[in-house]
Structure 1
Amino acid sequence: MRYLTESFALGALGRGRPVEQFLGPAGSPERPGIHYVEVRPAKTHYEIWLHILEDVGNETFADLVEFPPLEPDDEEEEFDRPVATREEPLAALTAAEHVTGAVRGRWVDAGLVQDEYHDYVMAGRPANSSPDGHPWPVPPFRS
């Protein structure tokens, strides 16, 4: 089973392991990108990181940590930066969902977000839903 139940996601965070969620396409047809969210334990809190990357992968290259930022010259870009912090793991998951549109029940262990991306590539990079038919999250309005 790829997706973590809430209790397994909370357990991973409690053991100091991050959880991630692939959020699908980002950018534009002229400059395609992808994004994913990570909830990362720190010493006294949990950080929510949003990663917005250029979609440079293919069937044999899905190592997201090697992808460049979607807008490398834009200092205002929300690439690879914390977007929130919380003191408790459940509050961190909730904050990640609120800030990025992530969905409870779609969290994966650290590193498996690359498998999610690979499935996305193999399915032809669907614009409206994940390869299993789940709609891509829609981030709430951010000021």
Structure 2
Amino acid sequence: MRYLVESFAVGALKRGQVIEQFLGRAATEDLAGVRSVSIEPTKRGFIVTLHAVEDVGGEHFCDLLEFPPLDPDDEFGQELGAVQEPLAAMALAEDQAGAVHDRWVNAGVAGADYLDYVCAGRPTT
């Protein structure tokens, strides 16, 4: 099972684990890109970060963390906010980044959704 049910996503965050979600296409005028969002537990709270990276992968390279940022000045992503509760962080990601409540995965697994995206022909919707 790739996707975390809500209680597993919340449990992962409470144990200090990062969760993430592949969001799909994000293009600029010059570059093809993809987006993902992550939630990271920190001392400040649960940090929600939107990542926009160049779509340089394929069937044999799908580690989103290795893709260069679309904006070189935004190497670590755009922080969308910090909240004190896991469910509030998930809701923030849904509201601000378009995340889907039941598509969260453990850190490093969003690349599998990217691979599905590549195999589907990189759809625009």
TM-score (normalizing by structure 2): 0.92
CA offsets 1:90-115 (integer angstroms, 9 cap, x no match):
11111111110111001111110011
Answer yes or no: is 1:26 the counterpart of 2:23.
no
Per the alignment, residue 131 of structure 1 pairs with none
Runs of 5+ consecutive residues of structure 1 not aligned to the other structure: 129-143
Runs of 5+ consecutive residues of structure 2 not aligned to the other structure: none
CA offsets 1:20-76 (integer angstroms, 9 cap, x no match):
01000001474210000001100241000110000000110111111111132xx4x
Q: How many residues align?
A: 125
Counterpart contact for 1:70–1:79, Cα < 8 Å: no
Counterpart contact for 1:13–1:89, Cα < 8 Å: yes
Question: What is the alpha-carbon root mean square deviation over aligned residues?
Answer: 1.6
Relative contact order, higher structure (CA 8 A, sep 6+): 2
Per the alignment, residue 123 of structure 1 pairs with 120
- Which runs of structure 2 are paired with 1:95-134 in the superposition (5 Å)? 95-128=92-125
Counterpart contact for 1:40–1:48, Cα < 8 Å: yes
Per the alignment, residue 82 of structure 1 pairs with 79
Higher helix share: 2
Per the alignment, residue 55 of structure 2 pairs with 55
Runs of 4 or more above 6 Å deviation = none
Partner Cα distance (1:97, 1:107) in 2: 11
Answer yes or no: is 1:92 the counterpart of 2:89.
yes
Counterpart contact for 2:44–2:82, Cα < 8 Å: no
Counterpart contact for 1:53–1:79, Cα < 8 Å: no
Identity within the alignment, %: 51
Counterpart contact for 2:68–2:75, Cα < 8 Å: no
Counterpart contact for 1:50–1:78, Cα < 8 Å: no
In structure 2, relative to structure 1, the CA distance for the partners of 1:122 and 1:29 (3 Å cut) is farther
Per the alignment, residue 12 of structure 1 pairs with 12
Q: How far 1:78 sits from its partner (Å)?
A: 8.7
Q: Per the alignment, in what secondary structure is the counterpart of residue 10 of structure 2?
A: helix
Per the alignment, residue 64 of structure 1 pairs with 64
